Amino acid sequence: MNDLTINSGAKLTINAGKSLTVTGALTNNSAEGIILQSPENHGAPGSLITNGSITGSGTIKAERYILAYSGNSDGWHLISSPVNTPNIANNTNLAPGDNDDLFAWNEVAYEWTNYKPGNVFTTMTNGIGYLVAYQVGANKYMTGTPNNTAISYSNLSNTNDKGEGWHLVGNPYPSAITWDKTDAGFNLTNIAGVAKVMNNSGSYSDRAANTIIPAMQGFFVQAVVHNNNSFNIPLLSRTHDNSSWLKSGNGERFMLVANDLETAMFQESVIGVNELATEGYDYQYDSRFWAWYAPQFYSIVGDDLLSTNTLPSVQPESVIPFGFVKNESSSFSIELKEQMVAYTVYLSDLKANQEQNLTSNPVYTFTSEAGDDPNRFILHFAPVGISTPTQENPAVIYSHGGVIFVTGAPANAEITVSNLTGQIMLQGKSAANSLTSLNATTLPKGIYVVSVLSNGQLTSRKVVL
């Protein structure tokens, strides 16, 4: 609508999942004159965007249903205020009881600051997120004047061996936002381009540019250098979106998920493609891994552990190492949830000497014990058309970290590794129905030809060591 006036004593309810845009001025003279209603689940509340001024002595009531704490996998929520600096005790019902929790995050000390002992903080700051958990599920709310200005951040700390630059911020508006929306004015300067939200399975989910962060959602951003940094959450980022809280983003990418089969916790890991990215860590496109309660699962780039790893392209020879560290459970799976259609995806388990085509069989199950080498998995690719070993293509060959891997070859197939002059440098035989590895770390760095011969049929491929 154009202008909107709410008279004293009047009420306007925006139902859960519905939205209202006021293109002109909003004049509100009624206490709780606008109610942003929430469903009793993780669904979206009512959404309000005001493009003009907001005046009047009235307030709005922004609701968000928070499910009861039932365990570390789904009991914690990151929340933020869409109204200006509400007093927690007087203008919200977020104040925790004896068996509830409300925390602020301290990057410098790498710790959660508890609201309860002496009320260290008493208000919710615009654009800052908070961690909450409640024994009983309830409709939580904040009342006040809706924030209608851009929020700016600058000179955020990056404390080595503590918070490492991770700061808990929050969506400051009574609507969803599009994170780092193109041309909206986020102006990220020395701020990582991928944000993190806490999902309901004991881990964090990444938010790349142009993905949704729901209303009243807290999220983490990383300052990649100390103090010399800044960014905005601009008004142009506001959008009406009725997706559920903690919705995962979409895009041209591969997504793998490590599932804890005993508790249903999970950890996502994304391989993205952007021609502006490099093979190394790019703070604009990648995101460093941050553990919570779920099993740890991440791709490895040099010394960086990444939950989002964006590459300039994916080639048939692309090999991506993955790390895995168990939590309290012992039974797990790795599942290919999303993939680019032009590729076949393989997962190699170096501990079990097994390889699985995730494109045709997307769930790989395994067990893990305390003390296992974290550097356990390798992801590699093939163009569609050679996704499974056939008589024409009887073996898949690749290399990583000075080791040559062969899979899909019949038992006792002859494997030779030759330099480009034809000199044989290594020889071996394939194992039956499993992954065969040849340690080539003693060979000089360079290009080699790996040949697999079985039943008179030869497969050869160049590899780089």
End-to-end CA distance of the chain: 64
**Calpha distance 192→276 (Å, rounded):** 15
Q: What is the DSSP-derived secondary structure letter of residue 411? A: T
Cα separation values, 45 from 67, 124, 146, 262, 349, Å: 14, 20, 15, 32, 43
| Domain contains 390 | no
Claim to verify: residue 134 and residue 176 sit in the same structural domain = yes
Claim to verify: residue 223 and residue 143 sit in the same structural domain = yes
Average pLDDT over residues 151-178: 97
Residue 145's pLDDT is 97
Q: Is pLDDT at 108 greater than 50 in this prediction? A: yes
State percent of the chain over pLDDT 70.
95
Cα separation values, 293 from 66, 111, 245, 372, Å: 19, 16, 19, 18
> φ and ψ at 410, to 5 degrees?
-60, 160
Given a contact cutoff of 8 angstroms between Cβ atoms, the answer to whether 339 and 271 are in contact is: no
Tell me the per-residue pLDDT of 46-100, one tens digit each, with 9 for 90 and over. 999 999 999 999 999 999 999 898 877 778 999 999 999 999 999 999 999 999 9
- Classified as helix, coil or strand, 207 is strand
Task: Give me the domain span that covers residue 352.
Answer: 253-383
Question: Model confidence at 390, in pLDDT bands (50, 70, 90)?
Answer: very low
Average pLDDT over residues 179-184: 95
Residue 268's pLDDT is 96
**Calpha distance 290→274 (Å, rounded):** 22
Average pLDDT over residues 189-206: 92
Query: What pTM did the predictor assign?
Result: 0.85
Number of structural domains found in the chain:
3
Which residue type does 319 have? V
Residue 388's pLDDT is 44
Q: Is pLDDT at 250 greater than 60 in this prediction? A: no
Claim to verify: residue 347 and residue 441 sit in the same structural domain = no
| Domain contains 100 | yes
What mean pLDDT is reported for the chain?
90
* CB-count burial class (<10 Å; 0-12, 13-18, 19+) for 139: middle
Claim to verify: residue 454 and residue 309 sit in the same structural domain = no
User: Among 222, 248, 274, which residue terminates a domain?
Assistant: 248
Closest to 127 (Cα-Cα) out of 62, 82, 61: 82
Average pLDDT over residues 99-106: 95
Given a contact cutoff of 8 angstroms between Cβ atoms, the answer to whether 267 and 295 are in contact is: yes
Residue 410's pLDDT is 82
Helix (H) or strand (E) holding 90: helix 88-91
Which string of b and e fits 437-453 if b means at least 16 CB within 10 Å?
bbebeebeeeebbbbbb
Residue 412's pLDDT is 86
| Domain contains 389 | no
Cα separation values, 113 from 107, 116, 408, Å: 10, 9, 54
| Domain contains 285 | yes
**Domain of 430: which CATH number?**
2.60.40.1220
Question: Model confidence at 422, in pLDDT bands (50, 70, 90)?
Answer: confident
Closest to 124 (Cα-Cα) out of 169, 78, 85: 85
Closest to 270 (Cα-Cα) out of 204, 344, 201, 349: 204
Q: Is pLDDT at 393 greater than 60 in this prediction? A: no
Residue 217's pLDDT is 94
Q: Is pLDDT at 140 greater than 80 in this prediction? A: yes
Tell me the per-residue pLDDT of 269-325, one tens digit each, with 9 for 90 and over. 999 999 899 999 999 999 999 999 999 999 999 999 999 999 998 887 788 999 999
Q: Is pLDDT at 399 greater than 90 in this prediction? A: no
Tell me the per-residue pLDDT of 4-17, one tens digit each, with 9 for 90 and over. 999 999 999 999 99
Residue 396's pLDDT is 80
